[in-house]
A and B are shown apart, each in its own frame.
Chain A
């Protein structure tokens, strides 16, 4: 490590989104010429932190100092011109422009008439690409490139701005081993040149191989910063977990072990999304699906609802084979799906609470001639509002005006309203306050107690542990671990989800394969 002093310092940074406190009073100091890794569970606040550093989000409180001077970035452009470059998980490239134009976006060489000098543009892009030692034609359109090469272009674009601070959010998630090795050597080169690098990764062996220091975040708080040669993988996992357990999950019901499976999944596959998934959920049972973001959990949930295709495998509901090609098929078979993204894929924001509640069961509110019975919808909506504790005086209130927790209750109420045999709940408490969470857990339990099978997909380990009768863990599209309700621990789940080596041989061979690009 070249100790050149602190390049980037953050003091007391806080940020909240609605009821969720994403960052609480976080301090962080990144030295010039150091690779500083940020690790933590899903939702620990890593992405929020680097989005603030890159000027893409504004903090509610706290200070950011660059080489000792306090700064405030109102836009990503301001951060960039102060020497902070970022590579986020979601790429920032323009597909319809060439590689060269993307790398030099906003910095195109121009002549006296302010026209772009194409030859020079090409030459400079080629030069930038050469540093990374990859064979990508600078004239190709970005949309024609495979995902891994786009990721490379994104990194080259960030690096070519010659930043003094480089922020990398999961940069290897779509890279092959060879490209990862190249990225690492590039990062080491930049470290030599005194660049401060903030590196987010879920891949702990990679973190320990590359980083000089590691900072662990948990629930939006800074837990600890340690020198990378003084921690093991297991130390990091211990620091990442260990949240306070709260008794908000209610009592488990009795599972009818003898009965046949309500939902049975046999060898369900779609290459690139999920592979060879076997799963059973019995009547009265809540099965938790854990895993990192991108492990294929949502794709699996959507496939079980007919919202995404599968290429092989079988689905059985109450022992009957079913073909679910569309959500409408799934609903006929008694499957309900609460989407992880209530605003984009769940609710009708411009419509009223009652219209939202009625959406999945319009047929039951119409006469044989297809006329809607509005009085019936009103009555139903008022009953659902009372039963689910949706706080609104009038069911004609627009759902857009409700709080996140109340919106989530409306979405859950709408789907429980179709009296499903199987409910797939994807992140049912995301962005929801504790009070509403407790109520949502209660409704999931009631549904199971009445005989439904519940599949609970969640990134919140406490929720998975508190709610599930059984737990499966997914990684890279596969189920990699299964636990009974009493065998699961946070540490065991995280270890399986990360694919970290178990117990004794922590600090396993560096750079174990990510499964490679899809």
Chain B
């Protein structure tokens, strides 16, 4: 490749969000050196692992022009299904089997979304809003509204164990982010999503199997949401019917702050991860500053608005 380096850096889409993340961390560290301590970093990464996992699927969806509001509820339902299969006296399946069934639950709900959106052409917002309510309701119905806990220690290790002093969920989420980023950048199958999001009609006329890819995207999003929910349950040794409430909006916010667009056709997993990182730094930052916790939502909202306004102004120039 002969492209000059400056041009390649200018095309590095995540540059802006990366600079913001670095600048934010630098300012906070200047204010209080404790901000970059390993304890704070650990807190930040543990806070964001679930969002980062769900953001992988959400990025692929947004790139293809899709959207998924159901991830929070699906993560709760998948975790609850697995927890009950492990704990309820009449069943008591071994944890790997229960976990697989939990993942399959997420995949099934995702494929269900995908079939409705792709085959029937129903708006993804409405479709996944319906699934979001349905999955949350089912979680309460099957659990009777009470949580489950006291899981097999090997299961809990997935959420609490350490490898080389790094927490398991952090390892899993970072590994997934790297794999998803490379796949979306470099594999033909995932690259087709940029074409679908850029112009769905043209993509179909270019011979791309638009519907099949859309269905699989939702399936992937549901599976990753289930994985996030399972790791969360393992971490807390508890599956709660209200787990993951509101996660969908946080994930979508992070992915858009990271450079994706609801109009489709753009975005990267790395950008989405940096978006998660930026939003995850706000809560600890506020705890370092002499202001109240109530500020978090307002700050997140402001960042989202600034991100989309800058994006729009940048496109006009």
Interface residues of A (CB under 8 A from B): 305, 307, 326-328, 330-331, 337, 339, 344-351, 355, 359-360, 362-363, 365-366, 370-372, 374-375, 378, 394, 396
Contact = CB atoms under 8 A, between A and B. Distances in A.
A350 B202 CA distance: 12
Give me the 9 closest cross-chain CB pairs, A-B, nearest first.
Answer: A348-B198, A328-B207, A366-B188, A331-B207, A350-B265, A359-B206, A360-B206, A345-B201, A348-B199
A427 to B, nearest CB: 15
Contacts of B204: 307, 326-327
B14 to A, nearest CB: 16
Contacts of B312: none
Contacts of A307: 204-205
A273 B281 CA distance: 59
Contacts of B205: 305, 307, 327, 337, 339, 345-346
A34 B201 CA distance: 45
B188 A344 contact: no
Contacts of B266: 350
A394 B7 contact: yes
A355 B185 CA distance: 13
A345 B198 CA distance: 11
Nearest to B189: A370
B127 to A, nearest CB: 20
A339 B199 CA distance: 13
Contacts of B265: 348, 350-351
Contact of B207 (A327, A349, A394): A327
Contacts of B209: 328
A268 to B, nearest CB: 19
Contacts of B188: 362-363, 365-366, 370-372
B187 A345 contact: no
B192 interface: yes
Nearest to B198: A348
A330 B1 CA distance: 33
A351 B3 contact: no
A372 B206 CA distance: 17
Contacts of A350: 198, 263, 265-266
Select the residue from A307, A349, A359, A371 with max chain B CB neighbours within 10 A.
A359
Contacts of A348: 194-195, 198-199, 202-203, 265
Select the residue from B195, B209, B263 with max chain A CB neighbours within 10 A.
B195
Select the residue from A337, A360, A365 with max chain B CB neighbours within 10 A.
A360
B265 to A, nearest CB: 5
A345 B202 contact: yes
Given A327-B204, A396-B11, A359 B1 contact: no
B191 interface: yes
Contact of A372 (B7, B187, B198, B208): B187
Nearest to B204: A327
Nearest to A396: B11
Interface residues of B, number: 26
Contacts of A344: 199, 201
A386 to B, nearest CB: 14
Contacts of B206: 327, 359-360
A374 B187 CA distance: 10
B192 A362 contact: yes
Contact of B1 (A326, A331, A375): A375
27 contacts: A326-B207, A328-B207, A328-B208, A328-B209, A331-B207, A337-B205, A339-B202, A345-B202, A345-B205, A348-B198, A348-B265, A349-B199, A351-B194, A351-B265, A360-B206, A360-B207, A366-B187, A370-B188, A370-B189, A371-B188, A372-B187, A372-B188, A374-B1, A374-B186, A378-B1, A396-B7, A396-B11
Interface string B178-218: 00000000111101101100110111111111000000000
A345 B188 CA distance: 21
B118 to A, nearest CB: 14
A347 B191 contact: no
B187 A346 contact: no
A378 B3 contact: yes
Nearest to B3: A378
B186 A372 contact: yes
Interface in B214-232: none
A328 B205 CA distance: 8
B105 to A, nearest CB: 28
Contacts of B186: 371-372, 374
Given A330-B207, A355-B198, 20 more contacts: A305-B205, A326-B207, A331-B207, A339-B205, A344-B199, A344-B201, A348-B198, A349-B199, A350-B198, A359-B203, A359-B206, A360-B207, A370-B188, A371-B187, A372-B186, A372-B188, A372-B191, A375-B1, A378-B3, A396-B7
A328 B204 CA distance: 8
Select the residue from B11, B186, B188 with max chain A CB neighbours within 10 A.
B188
A366 B192 CA distance: 12
A346 B3 contact: no
A371 B188 CA distance: 6
Select the residue from B11, B199, B205, B265 with max chain A CB neighbours within 10 A.
B205
Contacts of B201: 344-345
Select the residue from B1, B11, B192, B198 with max chain A CB neighbours within 10 A.
B198
B8 to A, nearest CB: 9
A341 to B, nearest CB: 9
A285 B296 CA distance: 68
B183 to A, nearest CB: 9
Select the residue from A370, A374, A378 with max chain B CB neighbours within 10 A.
A370
Nearest to B263: A350
A229 B161 CA distance: 95
A345 B201 CA distance: 5
Nearest to B197: A350
Select the residue from A339, A348, A351 with max chain B CB neighbours within 10 A.
A348
A370 B206 CA distance: 17
A346 B194 CA distance: 15
A359 B195 contact: yes
A363 to B, nearest CB: 7
A349 B198 contact: yes
Interface in B1-43: 1, 3, 7, 11
B60 to A, nearest CB: 15
A371 B184 CA distance: 10
Contacts of B195: 348, 351, 355, 359
A380 to B, nearest CB: 13
B194 A355 contact: yes
Select the residue from A305, A350, A375, A394 with max chain B CB neighbours within 10 A.
A350
A347 B199 contact: yes
A441 to B, nearest CB: 23
A355 B208 CA distance: 14
Contacts of A355: 194-195, 198
Nearest to A307: B205
Contacts of B194: 348, 351, 355
Nearest to B185: A372
